[in-house]
Structures are given as structure tokens and as C-alpha cells.
Amino acid sequence: MNKLAFFSGLLFGLGVLLSGMTNPDKVLGFLNIASAWDPSLLLVLVTAVLVAFVPMQLAQRRSKALLGEPIAFPDTRSITGQLILGSAVFGVGWGMTGLCPGPSLAALASLHAPQWLFFASMVVGMTGFELWQRAAANKTQRTAAPVRPGATALGSKS
Amino acid sequence: MLTLDWPAFTPYTAVAGGVLIGAAAGALALGGGKIAGISGILGGALSDALAARRPAPWRLTFVLGVLMASVLWATSLPIPGAAFKAPWPLLLIGGLLVGVGARLSSGCASGHGVCGLARLSRRSLTAVATFLSTGIVTAVAVHILLH
């Protein structure tokens, strides 16, 4: 599993770099439809989805992956306010910078300070979210404790 | 009207990069049963670390793989966008919003975009439509304000 994850990460990183998506100006050339439009990002996304489609669909129909691990796909189905709000906030940050988590990670070896600033802010944002979730879970646990002493902690999802 | 920026359009590397990204996501899903979503992998590892748990090793090796790709690339070719310029407050605030937003919506361009759409997940389709919309509006607004 660790070897697979390593090679998948390596392949993913090379793909992101080859596609040019680590270049925020290229991403903004796609998002900024008010100027001349660069459809490269759309082509990257459509190609990646098409290539991933068959293995994803096969994986989704199995109970165990080829290496024997359980299929750990999200099982949430409902469209929640949290999903919409989170995606909307994500899009604003993406549109401001032309950067998102994958390319940001794959570009770290450029040692370009703005790239690292974005990455660090993103990790701070993720950490803030985790701390807030843990605080919310603790609060729920405290209020729920007298009623349901045996209740388990609402751990943050991973 | 929408005009194509032909000189900037790079169809061959876009398709080749897309094939590698799709293959990476497909292999991790079918081989290991995991979603190759960067915010989920980073955030999941962070979540474990903050709870004083040992993060799942596959998350760390995946991140290591991406970093290895970055280092290997940088030794022979310049990383695309390696010299981009942006005002630092924009990067600071944008980074925070991307981090919080991706975790709040349980996914980013790789998790919802590549993996979620390939799974035909309605949640991911909603997420992608939402972040594309706010992304386009924001990028246009920032472009107008800065130029």
C-alpha cells in the first residue's frame, strides 16, 4: 500500500507539473474569462476524469481493493450547506491566486517564496478548520455527556 | 465575447498531464481503495497529528511521492510558474480560504474534480460547479481591480 501510494503520488505530481497547472497564471488564464481564454485546465480535468473513470467505477463496485485494503470512499450522499459553502470559499481563494492544494504541493521544489507563502497559509487554514471541528466535537460531547454517558467522541473525519 | 488565447493553449501537455493524473488517481483507487484528493490527504494527516495519532502511512508516502516528483522535475526543468508574481496579501488570504474551504467541503480540484467526477458523485459535481463559479467570478473581479 505504501509503495502504491508513493508511486501514485509521484505520477500525480509529474502529471500536475507536465500539465502546467502549477503555474497560477495558466490557471487564471482559464478562470479569467474576461480576457483571452486558455482552455488548458479544462482539457487536463476532462482527460484525467476520463482516464480515472474505468478504475474508479470498478473500484466502486468492489468491497476490497486489489491490494486487499477496504475501499475507503466517502459514503455521504446528501448535498449539504457545508459542501456548498466550503466549495464557494475554496473557489474564491482559488480565483484570487490561481493556486489549489495539488499544484501548490507539486510546486514546492521551485523554492519560490510566494509558492511557499500560499502553501503555508493553506496548511494554517486546514489546521484552523481541524481545531474548530475538534472544539465543536468536544462541546457536543460535553453537552451530550450527562444524557448519554457511554457516547463516543465525535472524532473529526479523516 | 469569449476569445481563445491560442498562444497560451497547450493541448498536448494538458492531455499528457491529464493522463498521468487520471492514472495516478485510478491506480490509488483500484489498487488501494483510496481517494487521491490532496486536501483530504493533507488534512487527514493533519487531523491525525493534531489528535496526537500517528497519521496513516499511505498519506505520508503519497505526499512524499508528490514532493519527489517536484524535486525530480526541478533538477532538470524549471517548475512551471516558478517565478510567478502576486501580491502577498492575496496569497495569504487566498491560501487560508483554499485550506478552510477544501476541508469544509471535503475536497478540492483533485478530490472532487478528478476522483469525484470519475465516481459520478452528485456531491462532487455540485462542489465543482460551485467552485468553478466562484473561482471565475473572483478571478474576473481580481483582474479588473488589479489592471
Residue carrying C-alpha cell 470559499? A89
Q: What is the pLDDT of residues A20-30, one digit of tens each?
A: 999 999 999 99
B119 — pLDDT class (breaks 50, 70, 90): very high
Q: How far is A137 from chain B (nearest CA, A)?
A: 12
Q: Residue A45: list chain B partners with CB under 8 A.
A: 18, 109, 113-114, 117
pLDDT for A157 beyond 90: no
Burial A92-118 (b: 16+ CB within 10 A, else e): bbbbbbbbbbbbbbbbbbbebebbebb
Q: Which residues pair with A70 in a beta bridge?
A: A64
CB spacing of B96 vs A77 below 8 angstroms: no
Q: How far is B30 from chain A (nearest CA, A)?
A: 5
Which range has the worst mean pLDDT, A147-151, B40-44, B74-78?
Answer: A147-151
Distance CA A45, CA A33 (A): 17
pLDDT for A156 beyond 50: no
- Which pLDDT score is estimated for B2? 83
Question: What rounded mean pLDDT belongs to chain B?
Answer: 96
pLDDT for A149 beyond 60: no
Residue carrying C-alpha cell 467522541? A153
pLDDT for B85 beyond 90: yes
A140 — pLDDT class (breaks 50, 70, 90): confident
- Which pLDDT score is estimated for A154? 44
pLDDT for B29 beyond 80: yes
- Which pLDDT score is estimated for A42? 97
Residue carrying C-alpha cell 492575496? B90
CB spacing of A18 vs B93 below 8 angstroms: no
pLDDT for A155 beyond 80: no
Return all residues near A72 (Cβ < 8 A) that are at least 6 apart: B33, B34, B35
- Which pLDDT score is estimated for A146? 55
- Which pLDDT score is estimated for A150? 45
pLDDT for A151 beyond 90: no
Quote the DSSP letter at residue A36: S
Q: Which of residues 36-75 of B touch A (CB under 8 A)?
A: 36, 38-39, 42-44, 46-48, 50-51, 56-59, 61-74
DSSP-H helix ranges across chain B? 11-32, 38-50, 57-76, 88-104, 117-118, 122-146
pTM: 0.92
DSSP assignment of B90-114: HHHHHHHHHHHHHHHTT--IIIIII
Q: Residue B73: list chain A partners with CB under 8 A.
A: 13-14, 17, 109
